[in-house]
Structure 1
Amino acid sequence: MNIEQANVEATTRMIEARPVLVGLAKAKDIIPGMKDNLLLHAGPPIEWARMSGPLRGAIIGALIFEGKAKNDKDAEAMVARGDVQFDSCHHHGAVGPMAGVTSPNMSVYVIENKTHGNKSFSNLNEGYGKVLRYGAYSDDVMTRLRWMENILAPMLRDAIEASGGIDIKALLAEALHMGDEGHNRNKAGSILFLRNLAPHLAKVAKNNSDLSDVLKYVGENALSVLNPVMAACKAMADAAHGIEGST
């Protein structure tokens, strides 16, 4: 086909895509090509020497989170020895906000494009302030990440499964009509996200204390839905990948 026909096909596939949040899983268990010593980051491939300060900080924090390093010196020594590999999230069907580091034992959202069958992945949103995606790796950042992995992630996984999946494209369309723009302003979308999850969180929660903490965390974080939305957009865009002649 010619360029115009190819571009029409690519655009049609993106429009027809239906990204649905279908689950949550460990990155090492679900992301293609993920390895024990691999860290994924936002943006194009880049070596340590050229990384920005926030990205280096996120790498250090991820290695501490994984238990591979005790502190920044340990992490930097690992990198210097070549013990750590880096690659772009996009090369593995994933996305990451800001510095966007994903490590093997972090849980990730699983988005499935129900129209074309491709999948995409994203880590969980930490909220505002001092966070890993901005390069912070202090004790409070690590404590929050471990709570997210040990308490939040299992409950979200079970709730998403119980829900039968959340149509992110439909959610985003509704949020746009409520004043969101789908990236930096996600207040309506995050409320809709919680509305979809809340009944199922109540069913799967093992105790009221954890349920209260999770509802509060998701409800107060206006960026809660951002990461699934980013992954959904990737699933839609990837539906147009590989069409010969498309520009």
Structure 2
Amino acid sequence: MSGRLAGKTALVTGSTSNIGRATARALAAEGAHVVVSGRNAERGKEAVEAIRAAGGTADFVVADLDGSAAASRALAEEATRVLGGRVDILVNNAGIYPPNTTETVDEETFDRVYAVNVKAPYFLTAALAPAMAAAGGGAIVNLGSWIARLGVGVSSLYSSTKGAVETLTRAWSAEYGPRGVRVNAVSPGVVHEPLPEGVASPGDVMMEGTPAGRHGLPEDIAAAVVYLASDEAGFVHGTVLDVDGGRVAAAVVRN
């Protein structure tokens, strides 16, 4: 534990698996007291136990961020209580990704994806950012996606929600930055935990032709979140940091 975030408190939504879990672990490893949140209490307990076993400080708060303002406010209040009265770092990570095409998305699915991916972080930020400003400052890190800026023929619904999150990142930076709250985003490429030898994720094909030439790991994204949440990024505002193996920046053409 190096202590870059010693004395800080953090709330990570959707942190019982994958990127969220790795982020909670990384923040705790840097000294932050972390609230792990999600719907699954068993996985939340496991995530907290792993952090504590590594010498970190963490607690679990169950939360079903359905997009209602009430659900977001309830999580904000409980996390603030558990963290001793303040939240210094908010990571808006929770999201859902149903594999639909435009024609196959029904209205119920459309509303649910926007509720979880856009409304929930919107109202959670509204609940916590003013308190951060009143306490002297804070950092908010949103999770975007490369697919918001590099159009592909699937996932139009999901990509549009991540486009909204990236726009909110810039708007919130203008709104809260002058009040001491830095707002930035991380835009991951294809990311998943290691798979057994010879097994590939269907999304891995999207990383072919990139400088990295591989999918990312949850820890790759977590490291970027830690940087944006730390004082090292004190002059970074309203930025979307691409951590995507070069997916949106460069194409590798092989002769």
The TM-score bracket by the shorter chain reads: under 0.3
Question: Whose Rg is larger?
Answer: 1
Bigger RCO of structures 1 and 2 (CA < 8 A, at least 6 apart):
1
TM-score (norm 2): 0.24
